[in-house]
Structure 1
């Protein structure tokens, strides 16, 4: 009961006042499975990218942190190829910094900050961490290439020349690797941050 009440408030807050560059909504009509998108920061190698994440709310939430992983591949010292994230706020004490006063909005904002400011001292990907520390230009180049390949939405005319100009294909990539595309009108990037959540 406490988990449901808490999540209804959190989803409402994310709908009405989402953090800048972040959107989050209910998946499969349940409060305990969420999807989110984070826009890559302008001054980072992830600029122009839309990074999708999935969030699972455990039974003991908020006394236990949510389980969050990237669905969109990202080249980052603290995020591995399975999308797992090395972040203090996603871990229980004493090794982590999760507290019940934190929430999904706080977590997503922390992940957004981690994207902009990697922590090479606590890496999940040692090779990328070493590259970030000792060969920053190569790291930036590779991270940009990954962003262009995996996180940038292509217009319909780029993917299928017979579609009208201005149409857009948005791919929904799920954990099992399947991709479902739906045809949508192109929106300014600012509009991505205001995707409405579906309340039960």
Structure 2
């Protein structure tokens, strides 16, 4: 039974890691498949929007006959209750987990699995979580409506403060965060050979499997975070205390005060630190090249292969190394004929980490493009094949596919350029405005090239 249990767990994790669900991620250490970390990204148009919420999932030996245990770990060290069903202690109240009484048929069954658990938890992160509290499902009195608004307001603030800003500050080792990681990403001593075989005890090393993912998503959603702060500043004042809900207890609550001025300063500092990382990678990469590190040799080989493939194909695109550094590429993208991109010439910078592919490349359009999948700062929203993360060509192909997709499916999680996204998915007249602005950016690219 134990072996079958592990096979089932491994299969479920593999399926989740292979799919392109933009809201869920899972990871485990090779030595311990029964202990899984999961990340849920807060749904659009909720107070949890684009927040990073982590959970610890522990599978018992009787799984799938019995459900795993799930504990929320994004709680500000046990001081923040993010939802009526997600306690400050980390307890997750769900009938399928056996932690809450539910209706007949809502209890756990072997037909369910890790994905259904995570989707169920994500469904708790609704636009009006006040209604999740038993007895408050249909609360519509005037004081309830006031409480609903107050509850949403403080969840929105703490989603930004704890799940996003605090998490990224910890990843980046920014002073003032609650916990500073010992070695911020991108700040290794150049004298350390990245290929040295050093014996390290896994248990003693902080394990942050979602660090790179959260950094990339932060860059996607940065403008959305700023827009949230801007709107919230019009609704609440700095120093205004949170209102305690009738179902919140002394040790199971969300207490605090609003301070969006501070949050804005901190979130801009996080963005600046992330923008500085690729330059540090370039310096590390130059050192790694001199030592013929495995990553440097691999990137140089892939560069030559891709450059040759562009020459052999009908694709007019071109790539060059910046200062001969295999960790910094310039890609020139030529817009596809007979589309709104026709005639465009866009320069794109691709920075690689010496820890590639564990850290995925940072990509930025140096030539501005008005596109619903390109953030205002030039960061593209694209989906590399999760099974080929080390293949640079498929990253390039995925970027081009995102640019040239003429019939994309609507997905609010790809909202990286607020203005372009609104126009593209708006009315017919708004789509025309979008197309005109895209064409203008194409024309400017030809003039500036």
TM score, norm. by length of structure 2: 0.34
2:121 alignment counterpart: 111
Is there any run of 5+ residues in structure 1 with no aligned partner, and where?
A: 124-130, 161-166, 170-178
Residue pair 1:75, 1:143 contacting (<8 A) in 2 also: yes
Structure 1 pair 132–181 and aligned structure 2 pair: CA distance change class (3 A): farther
Q: How far apart, CA to CA, are the structure 1 residues paired with 2:50 and 2:173?
A: 16
Aligned match for 1:15, one of 17, 20, 40: 17
Aligned match for 2:65, one of 56, 63, 66: 63
Q: How far apart, CA to CA, are the structure 2 residues paired with 1:82 and 1:61?
A: 24
Specify the structure having the higher radius of gyration (Cα). 2
Q: How far apart, CA to CA, are the structure 2 residues paired with 1:13 and 1:52?
A: 19
1:97 has 2:107 as partner: yes
Is there any run of 5+ residues in structure 2 with no aligned partner, and where?
A: 76-80, 137-142, 176-183, 187-205, 221-380, 388-449
Q: Per residue, is there more strand in 1 or in 2?
A: 1
- Give 1:69 shift: 1.1
Residue pair 1:25, 1:36 contacting (<8 A) in 2 also: yes
- Give 1:77 shift: 0.9
Deviation per CA, 1:16-57, whole angstroms, max 9, x where unpaired?
115340101113631100001111112111113101111000
1:159 alignment counterpart: 174
Q: Secondary structure at the match of 1:116?
A: coil
1:120 alignment counterpart: 133
Residue pair 1:168, 1:184 contacting (<8 A) in 2 also: no
Q: How far apart, CA to CA, are the structure 1 residues paired with 2:59 and 2:96?
A: 14
Query: What RMSD in Å do the two structures reach over aligned CA positions?
Result: 3.8
Structure 1 pair 181–91 and aligned structure 2 pair: CA distance change class (3 A): closer
Q: Which has the higher contact order (CA 8 A, sep 6+)?
A: 1
Aligned length: 175
Q: How far apart, CA to CA, are the structure 1 residues paired with 2:20 and 2:94?
A: 21
Q: How far apart, CA to CA, are the structure 2 residues paired with 1:181 and 1:5?
A: 24
Q: How far apart, CA to CA, are the structure 2 residues paired with 1:60 and 1:181?
A: 28
